[in-house]
């Protein structure tokens, strides 16, 4: 699980980064943590100080302070810290992530896809998601507070509308506690349902293929036996977390097909998609595909 004490958002003045910062502010409120805004590179400076926001004198006075001002008005009870560093963006954000519970960055909408668009993740966002020590959330440009809530009709107060489901993609070969725990915590702070999806592709001529080497999911026999073994393994993996979060509704699916395709399908209509990345390794092909095409915010969680 995550031990950082802040939610951090990267600010570069773009619309995508401002939308990501607003998402980060809402997450900080949900988790009762302060929000830290980080701006890297050469700032444009102005003389005026920002009232009621902790922004050191001499720091960036344009993109950083505008974001801090807007968020302080939108979230008056939130403790907001704004910091500038002259370091390049990727090292600065990786350093900030190491001290945070979660790092949030923005991605522009991919105009090559029909609306609602997927991500056009920039090199900075991808580099950070591929190397950060803590979870990284990629938030698409245009993400609004109501997008994480369920669709309702009639007169309902915005804050009372239930959250959309949280979706977790889980590889049963590496069902890390950091990944599963983050998903349960994220669903719990939203009082949202959690959907856990494990996708696999049966090998050709399955009945003539020996059992898989992993003791976690291996079983003799054909596709049916293998799928049954995977369902049992998924149930066993989730059992202690269900007990720890008894108020979180959880559903689990073992499905056939490519991981990215099945996760994209499962995340349709969800509020958040969570995928894993083994610590010390780059983003896998499925994670990169999901980041490019998903229409909701996506969390990349590093795990051992």
What pLDDT was estimated at residue 61? 54
In the chain, DSSP assigns E strands to: 7-11, 35-40, 80-85, 102-109, 119-120, 136-140, 166-169, 194-200, 250-256, 272-278, 298-303
Helices (H), the chain: 15-31, 63-74, 89-98, 123-131, 177-190, 223-244, 259-267, 285-293
Which residues, at least 6 apart from 19, have a Cβ–Cβ distance to it below 8 Å? 106, 139, 140, 141, 142, 143, 144
| CA distance linking residue 142 with residue 127, whole number of Å | 22
Distance CA 176, CA 180 (A): 6
Same fold, 7-147 and 161-303: yes
Check: CB of residue 59 under 8 Å from CB of residue 182. Answer: no
- C-alpha torsion sign, points 198, 201, 203, 207: positive
Q: State the DSSP code for 57.
A: T
- Give bridge partners of residue 136 from the DSSP assignment: 103, 300
Going from N- to C-terminal start, the domains of the chain cover: 7-147, 161-303
Q: Is the peptide bond before 265 cis (omega within 30 degrees of 0)?
A: no
Structure tokens at 297: 């915010």
- Nearest-angstrom CA–CA distance, 96 and 9: 9
Tell me the pTM. 0.85
Half-sphere exposure of 50 (CA within 13 A, CB side): 26
Closest CA to 185 of 298, 25, 31: 31
Per-residue pLDDT reduced to its tens digit, 188-241: 999 999 999 999 988 776 544 444 434 445 445 577 888 999 999 999 999 999
Rounded Cα gap, residues 18 and 74, in angstroms: 12
pLDDT reported for residue 221: 58
CB contact at 8 A, 37 and 103 = no
| CA nearest neighbour of 197 among 167, 241, 217, 226 | 167
Half-sphere exposure of 14 (CA within 13 A, CB side): 16
CATH topology of domain 7-147: Rossmann fold (3.40.50)
Third-level CATH fold of 161-303: Rossmann fold (3.40.50)
Kindly state the DSSP code that residue 87 receives in the 8-state scheme: S
Three-class HEC string of 167-179: EEECCCCCCCHHH
DSSP SS3 for 118 = coil
User: What are phi and psi for residue 265, nearest 5 degrees?
Assistant: -65, -45
Under-70 pLDDT residues of the chain = 1-3, 43-61, 109-121, 153-155, 157-159, 205-221
**pLDDT confidence of residue 197:** 98
Longest distance between any two alpha carbons in the chain, whole Å: 74
């Amino acid at each position: 699980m995550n031990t950082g004490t802040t939610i951090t958002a990267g600010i570069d003045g773009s619309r995508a980064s401002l939308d990501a910062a607003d998402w980060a502010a809402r997450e900080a409120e949900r988790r009762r943590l302060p929000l830290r805004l980080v701006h890297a590179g050469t700032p444009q400076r102005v003389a005026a100080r920002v009232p009621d926001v902790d922004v050191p004198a001499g720091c960036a006075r344009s993109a950083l302070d505008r974001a801090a001002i807007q968020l302080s008005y939108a979230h008056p009870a939130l403790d907001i810290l704004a910091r500038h560093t002259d370091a390049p963006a990727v090292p600065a954000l990786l350093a900030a992530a190491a001290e945070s519970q979660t790092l949030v960055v923005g991605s522009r909408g991919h105009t090559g896809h029909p609306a609602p668009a997927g991500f056009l993740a920039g090199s900075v966002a991808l580099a950070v998601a591929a190397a950060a020590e803590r979870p990284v959330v990629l938030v698409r440009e245009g993400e609004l507070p109501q997008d994480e809530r369920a669709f309702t009709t009639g007169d309902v107060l915005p804050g009372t509308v239930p959250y959309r489901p949280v979706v977790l993609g889980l590889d049963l070969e590496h069902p890390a506690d950091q990944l599963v725990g983050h998903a349960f915590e994220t669903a719990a702070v939203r009082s949202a349902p959690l959907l856990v999806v494990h996708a696999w592709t049966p090998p050709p001529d399955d009945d003539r293929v020996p059992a898989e080497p992993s003791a976690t999911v291996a079983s003799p026999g054909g596709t049916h036996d293998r799928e049954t073994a995977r369902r049992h393994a998924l149930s066993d993996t989730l059992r202690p977390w269900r007990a720890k979060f008894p108020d979180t509704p959880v559903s689990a699916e073992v499905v056939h097909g490519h991981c990215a395709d099945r996760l994209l399908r499962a995340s349709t209509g969800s509020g958040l998609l969570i995928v894993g990345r083994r610590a010390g390794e780059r983003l896998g092909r499925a994670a990169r595909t999901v980041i490019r095409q998903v229409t909701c915010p996506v969390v990349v969680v590093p795990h051992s």
